[in-house]
Amino acid sequence: MTKFGSIVLSAAMFALPATSMAQYKGGDVKDGGSISGTVKFKGTAPAPKKLEVSKDKEVCGKSPKVDQSLVVNNGNLANAVVTITDIKTGKKIDAKKVTLDQKGCEYQPHVLAFPVGTTVEILNPDGILHNVHSYSKANSPFNMAQPKFKKTLDVKIDKPEAIEVKCDVHGWMQGWLVATESPYVAVTDNSGNFKLTDVPPGSYTVEVWHEKLGKNTQKVSVKAKEDAKVSFEVAGK
């Protein structure tokens, strides 16, 4: 089995340099195109590790738990974050509220991506105590108890960063909040697919980031009203 532990990247390594995209300006995009594709895993992925439910089994143990940090389906990589790293102008940032659920003592989705300035609404439908602990570097860390009577918590993320979150009550719970400087961000689905829309015509660097596999980039040219196809193949190290 491939050992991935030695290549886990810290959240700080994903955070964009303060000067790299600080000048991004949003507005109306005319004749925009799109970038779509698939992220594949190169090689044979290890079987998902089963997680032990050691607390609140009557709630958390209703369904089996497996490690979500490397999900590969038919060779396709889920939960990879796709961004355009060097875009300066484009569509407006819509920093609407997004939701991180803790249903069944799991973070759903495992990776939640959004532009900076977004408020994350953290839900607790389980009727038990959770504790949301962020391992932020660029943003202020938070460590908040969420008892059963507090169904929602709101956290605003103002700086670009990949933030690992864990539950101090249920040690197997782990996920990521990924904030980006521009609105051009997507998370691959269970088939490894993604799409970025309303991209102004031009040449860009598209980056794939995964919590265990690191970063990969490609140059992509976008034409007006056309879809630029791109395929990534990411290998374990």
pTM: 0.90
- Please report the domains of the chain, with CATH numbers, ordered by start residue: 5-235 (2.60.40.420)
Mean pLDDT computed over 223-230: 98
Q: Over 70: is that where the pLDDT of 133 sits? A: yes
b/e string for 117-128 if b means 16 or more Cβ within 10 A?
ebebebbbebeb
| pLDDT for position 7 | 35
> In b/e form, how buried is each residue of 29-39, taking b as 16+ CB within 10 angstroms?
beebbebebbb
Q: In whole numbers, what is the pLDDT of the chain averaged over residues?
A: 91
Give the pLDDT score at 22.
56
C-alpha–C-alpha distance, residues 25 and 236, integer Å: 36
Q: Does the structure show a pLDDT above 80 at 103?
A: yes
Q: Is the pLDDT of residue 1 over 90?
A: no
Tell me the per-residue pLDDT of 154-199, one tens digit each, with 9 for 90 and over: 999 999 999 999 999 999 999 999 999 999 999 999 999 999 999 9
pLDDT (tens digit, 9 = 90+) per residue, 82-100? 999 999 999 999 888 999 9
Helix, strand counts (H, E) of the chain: 1, 21
Residue-level pLDDT at 16: 41
Sign of CA dihedral 137, 139, 140, 143: negative
The whole-number pLDDT of residue 236 equals: 80
Q: How many CB atoms lie within 10 A of CB 131?
A: 15
pLDDT in tens, 4-36: 333 333 333 444 433 344 579 999 999 999 999
